[in-house]
């Protein structure tokens, strides 16, 4: 499969079944399939801690976005049901929980909870401040530039 499909489309695990579960009317029982997938997933991989550390904050953001009760620390975001649109939601959730806003490109390159936690720790250590602080500083600079233009006569409307 990896030769023909992009990495995000390759299943993380395949569970062979003798037959698909069916409802009383003979249709595929999607709820039973979902329950089987959740049971396999939670039994196979330990969940990330829910503590106040960076890993816990990242795991909480993933759980929020993916609507999962627990998130394994070493499983790929896409294997848990994430896709490109939920990656943007994750970006917002990470910023709310950590104060750091990784780029979507960085999130696509770091696709597990532990990788993203390390990315956020490294980004915070390099910046010495959160991204929201940086945005506030940029807003203050822009405001100062506007005020300077108005004093010089280069403001809007001229």
| pLDDT tens for each residue of 115-132 | 999 999 888 766 555 556
SS3 70: coil
pLDDT of 103 above 70: yes
Same domain, residue pair 116 and 143: no
Same domain, residue pair 136 and 74: no
Residue 57 lies in a domain: yes
**Which residues fall within 8 angstroms of residue 124, CB to CB, at 6 or more apart?**
98, 99, 100, 130
Same domain, residue pair 156 and 97: no
Q: Which domain holds residue 83?
A: 46-127
**Which residues fall within 8 angstroms of residue 90, CB to CB, at 6 or more apart?**
61, 62, 65, 77, 82, 107
SS3 41: helix
Look up the CATH number of the domain holding residue 87: 1.10.1200.10
Residue 7 lies in a domain: no
pLDDT of 82 above 80: yes
Lowest mean pLDDT segment, chosen from 72-81, 95-104, 120-129:
120-129
Residue 32 lies in a domain: no
The whole-number average pLDDT for the span 24-40 is 81
Q: Is the pTM of this model over 0.75?
A: no
Write the CA distances from 101 to 48, 59, 77, 96, integer angstroms. Answer: 20, 15, 17, 8
Same domain, residue pair 98 and 141: no
Residue 112 lies in a domain: yes
Structural tokens at position 76: 């790929």
């Amino acid at each position: 499969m990896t030769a023909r499909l992009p990495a995000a489309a390759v299943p993380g695990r395949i569970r062979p079944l003798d037959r698909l579960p069916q409802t009383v009317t003979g249709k595929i029982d999607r709820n039973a399939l979902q329950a089987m997938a959740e049971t396999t997933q939670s039994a196979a991989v330990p969940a990330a801690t829910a503590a106040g550390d960076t890993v816990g904050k990242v795991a909480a953001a993933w759980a929020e976005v993916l609507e999962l009760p627990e998130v394994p620390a070493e499983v790929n975001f896409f294997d848990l049901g994430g896709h490109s649109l939920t990656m943007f939601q994750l970006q917002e959730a990470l910023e709310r929980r950590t104060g750091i806003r990784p780029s979507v490109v960085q999130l696509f390159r770091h696709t597990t909870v532990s990788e993203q936690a390390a990315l956020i720790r490294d980004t915070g250590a390099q910046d010495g401040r959160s991204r929201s602080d940086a945005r506030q500083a940029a807003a203050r600079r822009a405001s100062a530039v506007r005020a300077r233009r108005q004093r010089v006569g280069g403001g809007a409307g001229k």
